[in-house]
Amino acid sequence: MADQKRDEIPPGTLYMLILRTLARGGEMHGYEIANAIQRGSEEVLQVEEGSLYPALQRMLIKGWVEAEWGVTAGNRRARYYHLTKLGREQLEQELSQYRRVNIAIEKILQSA
Amino acid sequence: MNWLREIWRRVKFLSHRSQAEDDLAEEMRLHLDLRAEETGRDESRRRFGNELLLRETSREAWGWRWLDSLSQDLRYGGRALAAHPGFTITAVLSLALGIGANTAIFSIVNAVMLRALPVEDPQRLVQLRSGKNGSFTNPIWEQVRDHQQAFAGTLAYGDGRFDLASGGESRFAQGLWVSGDFFRVLGIAPLRGRLLTAEDDQHGGGKSGPVAVISYAFWQSYFGGDPAALGKTITLDRHPFEIVGVTPPYFTGLDVDKGFDVSIPIGCEPILHTDISALDHRSWWWLRILARLKPGDSVPQAEAKIQALQGEIRRATMPTTWEEEDRKNFLKDAFQLRPTATGFSSTRDRYRQGLFTLMAVVGLVLLIACANIANLLLARAAARQREISIRMAIGAGRRRVIRQLLTESLLLSGLGALGGFVFSLWGSRLLVRLFSTALDPLDVNVSPDLMVLAFTSGVALLTGLLFGLAPAFRATSVSPNHVLKENARGAIAGGSRFRLGKMLVATQVALSLVLLVGAGLFLNSLRNLLGTSMGFDRRNVTLVQVNTLEKVPKERRVELFRTILERLRTVPGVTLAASSLITPVSHRGWNQFVFPEGYAAQSREDTLTWFNRVSPGYFRTMSTPLRAGRDFDSRDTKSSTKVIIINEAAARHYFGGVSAIGKNVGMDLDGKTGEKELFQVIGIVADTKYVDLREETKLSAYLVTTQEAEPRGETNFILRSAVPGATLTSAVRAAIAEIDPGLALEFRDFETQVNESLVQERTVALLSSFFGALALMLAMIGLYGVTSYAVLRRQGEIGIRMALGASQGSVVWLVLRDVTMILAVGMVLGIAASLAAGRLVTAMLFGVKAADPATLAVCAAVLASATTMAGFVPARRASRLDPTTALRDE
């Protein structure tokens, strides 16, 4: 694993990734979210896993996600997050913005 | 409102933050454990990052840090305030009073001077003016309206007062004459029905006949908000008008201090005024003209456009009877435009000085209150010196401690502001009532808006810093070691804090003196104004205005008014009765150029004379002394020689004294023919006040009703009685109804009319006296506080002195010496400040100089004795100390 090339998550996209992951997976706790992102990017994206938690806190404040305590399969207490309506709207916004920017960058790269 | 929700979430989380922190920790632990099961501890840690840092970041996400320390400070401050309820209550109350008074006056200033009109895009409204004049004739308005191209829209309006009663005593509605486009140009939508249109504004009324739009307030008060009011008919001066619409509640007209009840089209004017209509009159200046700028136009651009059109407008509307000189001026006088987003206000013009003076007065009171609180806080800070020193010794930064102390001050001023705000709601209404008179009711919307809220919070912040900063810096400026080594009383810190305290009290004394002197000057002015020789006796006189509303033909009016006068003289209680066209000090007037026999006028203005038309017996009824010649009487009839009575000033001015009797005065009374009629001077009467009590004596003259050919439709009956005027009204009403029940009557008390002309002087004098007394009280409290503290501090010394045999008297003197010092410094500062401040109010004074030595001396004496008393109480207490107890305490 150590030799595998990993990239940092581009700044500003962490929220989008978390929102997307939650949108797909429904209710998840932090560890599951981290794993899902890593797996979803085929191990390319490097999450400093802990930074998930400050991000989740901010998302709670903004009202994009809500959290409830539940129990994991291994019978441990875990906080499960799920998207709110506001979060879904935010995801839509971030996705479309991301795509717009992406297309713009692609265009420049192609024309170069 | 996203930020609001966010703050709410933060606050919510703050309330169970330890729970939230535990949650976060548990969550992270779970994550680490799960990862460790997969990859081992080390890798798990590496991937997770710096846990502490992360936790800190998460915490910051909630904004915990600042909220945290703020809530800590607030809790701490709250406890400190609660620990000294006496101090807290005194401070909050005096702040509430100070901030409340400031806010109350600011609410009025805001309402009449700062707030924009509630119309569409008020910034683009301009008023048409020419020279100093903002009124125009209807012919000019119609010309401006027909030269629309300079503007996006134009409107005109005039004030009116309509009688709603069907007979007997009048019930007036505040009226507006409005042009057809009035509401459209302002962008007002109807609340009910429809508003007026150009179609309604035709000479003599439009297709729908005479129609009226009523205000929301009138709809509520007169019709109880009944939707069926639409289509109903109201009578205005006995003429029916159909109500077609109601304006929305926020629109109360363009005058911010006068609401309106009914608005009717200008074109309906001939319906009400059948004698002479104002519509075609070229010298009746009764309309204001406003315009809305075209998009993109600036005021100068629009002004240039209207000036280009002005020659045409002027020529088409020039009064024909004017003299050559006046005509030339009329044509030359250029139209100007003035931005008018804040509307019109007679208060703004009339009471501007009064309001600003009061603002300064209550500002000073607030300063004095601040000085007091600063003083009390200083005393407290000294007492808390140990606590603060300990906190600083164990590592609290100076800034942190200052912040803590300031939070406390701001908490205090915040509480004061809260109380003040509530107080101002009531205070501003009281002020409006004080400034409001029967003749000129003030109807200002003083409900607080964002401006007022911002003002109050700004004042609270400022005062909190003002009285909090000095004690906070003082308390933290001493090295902790120093204080901790000293005894519990903190003698060293106390000494320097005491000097600052004395300075604060001296400042208080100085400011109080300024306020007292101000109050003294205003009271003197008011007394002078009321004591000034008015030329009449204002007591026990009832005025009855009788209006025929033009239902009685002109030729019958002389006879009608004479019959009424005869009848009124027989009403029980009435001792004397007369009638007059104008009543003194009613802010109405009639002036005229005269051509006295043998008098060479220096200029046109030199012969401008103020007139009244009165019945025989007028001077006796008013108690105006006849200086020479005779009064009007039954000899003066339509066919006899035309006669005139002039006042002493006019006699002196035109004829050099009594030789005036028998001389002739020429006049062009109707101003139409240019021919001069001759009037013979038969009497000279004492000078009287005409328009108001502050005026210089005017040249004036009187004509007699019995020689008037076509009297106006209204006149005033003046009844002098031995009994209070209010008891007469029903008998008078009945007596007039016997003669003609259709007449409109309005009763007024002459003394009230005179007093009301001094409403600004009275209000300023009343309020500045009140606040002066308050300032005096605050200064006494301040001096008492600082002296008591000094006594406490010097208890040991006093005890020793007494043990050594000092007399009670010498101890009292020991303490009073300090008081005298403070007083002396305060007085010197105060006298200098009073003289400086006096110059600012010179214009508001009457018969008294701003630097009046008597006022200054009396105020200084009052202040000195009051404050000495305040200092004497603790001094006396000191002299009664039991030396042994005092020494033991030490």
- Cβ contact B26–A76 (<8 Å): no
DSSP H helices, B533-613, are: 554-569
Domain-terminating residue out of B742, B773, B790:
B742
Q: Are residues B518 and B633 in the same domain?
A: no
Distance CA B180, CA B178 (A): 6
Q: How buried is residue B533: exposed, middle or buried, by Cβ count under 10 Å (0-12/13-18/19+)?
A: exposed
Is B98 a domain residue?
no
Please tell me the pTM assigned to this model. 0.71
Is B263 a domain residue?
yes
Among residues B302, B315, B279, B121, which one has the least CA distance to residue B202?
Answer: B279
Distance CA B84, CA B825 (A): 31
Domain-terminating residue out of B286, B317, B341:
B341
Nearest by CB to B28, from A50, A61, A77: name it. Answer: A50
| pLDDT recorded at residue B492 | 42
- Mean local confidence (pLDDT), B756-778: 87
- Residue ranges and CATH numbers for the domains of chain A are 13-110 (1.10.10.10)
Q: Count of residues for chain A?
A: 112
Average pLDDT of chain B is 86
Chain A residue with the nearest C-alpha to that of B10: A61
Q: How buried is residue B85: exposed, middle or buried, by Cβ count under 10 Å (0-12/13-18/19+)?
A: exposed
Q: Are B682 and B672 in contact (CB under 8 A)?
A: no
Q: Give the N- to C-terminal CA distance of chain A in Å, as an integer.
A: 35
Among residues B95, B172, B100, B762, which one has the least CA distance to residue B429?
Answer: B100
3-state secondary structure of B281: coil
Q: What backbone torsions phi and psi does residue B224 show, to the nearest 5 degrees?
A: 60, 30
Beta strands B700-704 and B608-614, pairing class? parallel
Q: Are residues B269 and B169 in the same domain?
A: yes
Is B682 a domain residue?
yes
- Cβ contact B49–A50 (<8 Å): yes
Q: Are B650 and B657 in contact (CB under 8 A)?
A: no
| pLDDT recorded at residue B732 | 94
Q: Check CB contact of B54 with chain A, cutoff 8 Å.
A: yes
Closest Cα in chain B, distance from residue A57 (Å): 6
The two tokens of residue B781 are 């409290």
Chain B residue with the nearest C-alpha to that of A33: B31
Closest Cα in chain B, distance from residue A28 (Å): 12
Q: Are residues B334 and B404 in the same domain?
A: no
Least confident piece of the model among A35-39, A42-46, B66-70, B318-322: B66-70
Query: What tens digit of pLDDT does each residue of B534-572 get?
Result: 999 999 999 999 998 878 888 888 899 999 999 999 999
- Cβ contact A61–B61 (<8 Å): yes
| pLDDT recorded at residue B140 | 93
Whether the pLDDT of residue A3 is over 50: the answer is no
- The helix (run of H) or strand (run of E) holding residue A39 is helix A30-40
Q: What backbone torsions phi and psi does residue B397 show, to the nearest 5 degrees?
A: -65, 155
Q: Are B775 and B366 in contact (CB under 8 A)?
A: no
Closest Cα in chain A, distance from residue B411 (Å): 28
Nearest by CB to B58, from A29, A34, A57: name it. Answer: A57
Q: What backbone torsions phi and psi does residue A48 show, to the nearest 5 degrees?
A: -75, 100
| pLDDT recorded at residue A2 | 42
- Could you give the angle at the alpha carbon of B391 between the alpha carbons of B389 and B395, nearest 5°? 110
Distance CA B439, CA B545 (A): 13
Q: Are residues B359 and B337 in the same domain?
A: no
The two tokens of residue B462 are 């400022």
Closest Cα in chain A, distance from residue B33 (Å): 10
- Cβ contact A49–B23 (<8 Å): no
Whether the pLDDT of residue B642 is over 90: the answer is yes
Query: What tens digit of pLDDT does each residue of B85-132 get?
Result: 888 888 888 889 889 989 998 998 888 888 888 888 999 999 999 877
From the candidates B30, B37, B46, B59, which should be mutated to test the interface with A, based on the most A CB atoms within 10 A? B30
* DSSP character at residue B706: G
Alpha-carbon Rg for chain B, nearest whole angstrom, is 37
Q: Are B115 and B467 in contact (CB under 8 A)?
A: no
| pLDDT recorded at residue B118 | 86
* DSSP character at residue B634: T
Q: How buried is residue B349: exposed, middle or buried, by Cβ count under 10 Å (0-12/13-18/19+)?
A: exposed
Query: What tens digit of pLDDT does each residue of B803-827 get?
Result: 888 888 888 888 888 889 889 999 9
The number of CA neighbours under 13 Å toward the Cβ of B562 is 15
User: Which residues, including other chains, have CB under 8 Å from residue B500's CB and lie 6 or more apart?
Assistant: B378, B470, B474
- The helix (run of H) or strand (run of E) holding residue B532 is none
- B48 interaction partners in chain A (CB closer than 8 Å): 48-50
- A58 interaction partners in chain B (CB closer than 8 Å): 61
- Mean local confidence (pLDDT), B301-311: 91
Whether the pLDDT of residue A71 is over 50: the answer is yes
Distance CA B315, CA B332 (A): 11
- Could you give the angle at the alpha carbon of B398 between the alpha carbons of B397 and B401, nearest 5°? 90
Q: What backbone torsions phi and psi does residue B547 show, to the nearest 5 degrees?
A: -125, 125
Distance CA B105, CA B490 (A): 43
- Mean local confidence (pLDDT), B369-381: 83
Least confident piece of the model among B225-234, B486-495, B532-541, B752-761: B486-495
Is B623 a domain residue?
yes
- Could you give the angle at the alpha carbon of B782 between the alpha carbons of B372 and B383, nearest 5°? 75
Beta strands in B533-587 (DSSP E): 541-547, 574-580
Q: Are A24 and A32 in contact (CB under 8 A)?
A: no
Closest Cα in chain B, distance from residue A79 (Å): 7
Q: Are residues B288 and B366 in the same domain?
A: no
Q: Are residues B406 and B423 in the same domain?
A: yes
Q: Check CB contact of B50 with chain A, cutoff 8 Å.
A: yes
Q: Check CB contact of B31 with chain A, cutoff 8 Å.
A: yes
Distance CA B766, CA B514 (A): 16
Domain that holds residue B23: 1-63
Distance CA B240, CA B208 (A): 13
Closest Cα in chain A, distance from residue B843 (Å): 60
Q: Check CB contact of B296 with chain A, cutoff 8 Å.
A: no
Beta strands in B658-782 (DSSP E): 664-667, 677-685, 700-704, 714-721, 744-749
Alpha-carbon Rg for chain A, nearest whole angstrom, is 16
Q: How far is CA B673 from the centre of its chain?
A: 46
3-state secondary structure of B610: strand
Least confident piece of the model among A34-38, B251-255, B393-397, B459-463: B393-397
Chain A residues contacting B via beta carbons under 8 Å: 29-31, 34, 47-51, 53-54, 57-58, 60-63, 69, 72, 76-79
Q: How far is CA B97 from the centre of its chain?
A: 18
- Cβ contact B24–A78 (<8 Å): no
Of B187-201, B264-278, B495-509, where does the model show the most confidence? Answer: B187-201
| pLDDT recorded at residue A52 | 85
- Mean local confidence (pLDDT), B368-373: 87
pLDDT band with cut points at 50, 70 and 90 for residue B62: low
- Cβ contact A50–B6 (<8 Å): no
| pLDDT recorded at residue B496 | 55
Q: Are residues B720 and B778 in the same domain?
A: no
For CA atoms B123, B125, B131, B135, the dihedral sign is: negative
Closest Cα in chain B, distance from residue A112 (Å): 38
Q: How far is CA B346 from the centre of its chain?
A: 11
Chain B residue with the nearest C-alpha to that of A78: B27
Chain B residue with the nearest C-alpha to that of A54: B58
Whether the pLDDT of residue B885 is over 80: the answer is no
Q: How buried is residue B637: exposed, middle or buried, by Cβ count under 10 Å (0-12/13-18/19+)?
A: exposed
3-state secondary structure of B82: helix
Distance CA B365, CA B126 (A): 39
Q: What backbone torsions phi and psi does residue B850 show, to the nearest 5 degrees?
A: -60, -35
Is B83 a domain residue?
no
Is B190 a domain residue?
yes
- Longest Cα–Cα distance of chain B, Å, equals 129
Q: Are residues B609 and B519 in the same domain?
A: no
Closest Cα in chain B, distance from residue A108 (Å): 35
Is B133 a domain residue?
yes
Distance CA B503, CA B522 (A): 29
pLDDT band with cut points at 50, 70 and 90 for residue B185: very high
- pLDDT > 90: what percent of chain B? 39
- A62 interaction partners in chain B (CB closer than 8 Å): 6
- The helix (run of H) or strand (run of E) holding residue B646 is strand B643-647
Among residues B205, B253, B261, which one has the least CA distance to residue B229?
Answer: B261
Beta strands in B230-287 (DSSP E): 233-236, 239-246, 262-265
Is B594 a domain residue?
yes
Nearest by CB to B61, from A31, A47, A57: name it. Answer: A57
Whether the pLDDT of residue B491 is over 50: the answer is no
Q: Are residues B334 and B351 in the same domain?
A: no
Nearest by CB to A48, from B33, B49, B58: name it. Answer: B49
Domain-terminating residue out of B341, B371, B399:
B341
Q: Are residues B581 and B631 in the same domain?
A: yes
Chain B residue with the nearest C-alpha to that of A2: B43
Domains of chain B: total:
4
Q: Are B630 and B702 in contact (CB under 8 A)?
A: no
From the candidates A37, A39, A53, A79, which should be mutated to test the interface with B, based on the most B CB atoms within 10 A? A53
- Mean local confidence (pLDDT), B513-535: 91
CB pairs under 8 A between A and B: 66
Q: Check CB contact of B64 with chain A, cutoff 8 Å.
A: no
Query: What tens digit of pLDDT does each residue of B131-174 get?
Result: 778 899 999 999 999 987 889 999 999 998 899 988 788 888 99
The number of CA neighbours under 13 Å toward the Cβ of B149 is 7
| pLDDT recorded at residue B125 | 93
3-state secondary structure of A79: strand
Task: For chain A, count helices (H), then strands (E).
Answer: 4, 5
Q: Give the N- to C-terminal CA distance of chain B in Å, as an integer.
A: 60
Nearest by CB to B49, from A51, A63, A69: name it. Answer: A51
From the candidates B19, B54, B59, which should be mutated to test the interface with A, based on the most A CB atoms within 10 A? B54
Neighbours of B744 (CB within 10 A): 24
Residue B234 pairs in a beta bridge with B241
Whether the pLDDT of residue B673 is over 80: the answer is no
DSSP state string for B152-185:
SEEEEEEEEEEE--SSEE--EEEEEEE-TTHHHH
Q: Are residues B725 and B815 in the same domain?
A: no
- A69 interaction partners in chain B (CB closer than 8 Å): 23
Whether the pLDDT of residue B630 is over 90: the answer is yes
Query: What tens digit of pLDDT does each residue of B726-741 get?
Result: 889 999 999 999 999 8
Q: Are residues B633 and B719 in the same domain?
A: yes
- Mean local confidence (pLDDT), B188-200: 93
User: Which residues, including other chains, have CB under 8 Å from residue B241's CB and lie 6 or more apart?
Assistant: B210, B211, B212, B233, B234, B235, B262, B264, B268
Beta strands in B693-792 (DSSP E): 700-704, 714-721, 744-749
Distance CA B677, CA B685 (A): 22
